[in-house]
Amino acid sequence: MAIISVCRGTKSGGKALAQCLADKLGYPLLGREVLQEAASQLGVSADDLVEKFEGPPTLFSRAATLRKTYIAAVQAALSDQMISGDLIYHGLAGGFLMRDVPGVLCARLIAPLEMRVQALMMEHGMREPEAEAYIKDVDESRARWVKTMYDAEILDPTHYDLVLNLGTFSIPEACSVITKASQRPEFEKTEQNLARFEDFRVTSHVRMALLDDMGTQTLDLSARAEKGIVEVTGQAPLLNTGEVGNRITEIVRSVEGVQGVVLKIEWFDPYP
């Protein structure tokens, strides 16, 4: 039993592979639904949320804060589905949304450009140059997003446990390879892995809560939970230190599953 994330480029067969894995293993299948849940929690449309994920990254602005909030909302919605320990996820940025969670099998599916172009031409009636340009544009946009948000190269194979080429493997063959890999001890549904998934759930909801609050969303804060104890790190202005610290603690404690809060914040004077 395992949590499997299928990462792929546009029209690289990821949805078909995810469906094959879900049918073979009997696991729940999650894709765009997690975006819809996150969008519902934020009170925005799923299309708007996708745009923030795939649009040109923007730093040092309200847009950057909004993007971080959207990402945190998707992680929170995804983490709620992970705690059972059985899941196939093929939505946006799966490998990077869960990159810090041990026990998750991340597989990247690639395919020759010709195969991807043909898929677009057949499904959407595009001409070959149009389809090729579309794929290039989307791939470059996603690569820029990953570079900005995670300082990582999306094509770097070290970010994935498996990279499978549909120019070599058929969907059923790739499905069998991933199924076999999911049976390794590292990905079993052990008490230890389930505890890690719960830590991820608490961490995700804490980060979402801090970004959702007007008083803390602009602060440079991060959080990590371990066995119910949440450590908050980052920087915050020295003004009203006690009030800000109390507010952070209050927000964190409001999240289900939090048993304690440790603040390790670097307070700075905004007017030295």
- How far apart, in whole angstroms, are the C-alpha atoms of residue 223 and residue 207? 6
Using pLDDT thresholds of 50, 70 and 90, give the confidence band for residue 251: very high
Distances (CA, A) of 203 to 86, 99, 145, 164, 262: 20, 13, 22, 31, 13
Helix-helix angle 46-54:128-150, to 10 degrees: 80
The amino acid sitting at 94 is G
Which residue, among 4, 101, 66, 30, has the nearest Cα to 217 in the 3D structure? 66
Please, what is the average pLDDT of the chain? 88
The segment with the largest mean pLDDT, out of 2-16, 145-159, 256-270, is: 256-270
6 with 30: CB under 8 angstroms?
Answer: no
> Tokens at residue 260, please?
């304690």
The answer to whether residue 4 scores a pLDDT higher than 60 is: yes
Using pLDDT thresholds of 50, 70 and 90, give the confidence band for residue 60: very low
Average pLDDT over residues 194-210: 95
Residue 198: predicted pLDDT = 95
Residues in the chain: 272
The amino acid sitting at 261 is V
User: Phi then psi for 81, rounded to 5 degrees?
Assistant: -85, -15
The answer to whether residue 97 scores a pLDDT higher than 90 is: no
Average pLDDT over residues 31-53: 80
Cα Rg, the chain, nearest whole Å: 20
Residue 143: predicted pLDDT = 86
Residue 222: predicted pLDDT = 93
* Paired sense of beta strands 260-268 and 229-237, if any: parallel
First-to-last alpha carbon distance for the chain, in angstroms, is 55
- How far apart, in whole angstroms, are the C-alpha atoms of residue 13 and residue 45? 26
Residue 43: predicted pLDDT = 83
pTM above threshold 0.75: yes
In our burial notation (b when 16+ CB lie closer than 10 A, e otherwise), range 126-157 reads beeeebbebbeeebebbeebbeebeebebeee
The answer to whether residue 103 scores a pLDDT higher than 70 is: yes
Residue 5: predicted pLDDT = 93
Residue 61: predicted pLDDT = 54
The answer to whether residue 93 scores a pLDDT higher than 80 is: no
Domains and CATH numbers, the chain: 3-190 (3.40.50.300), 213-268 (3.30.1340.30)
Average pLDDT over residues 217-243: 88
List own/partner pairs for 235-243 with CB under 8 A and 24 or more apart: 235/265, 235/266, 235/267, 235/268, 236/265, 236/266, 236/267, 236/268, 237/267, 237/268, 237/269, 237/270, 238/267, 238/268, 238/269, 238/270, 239/270, 241/267
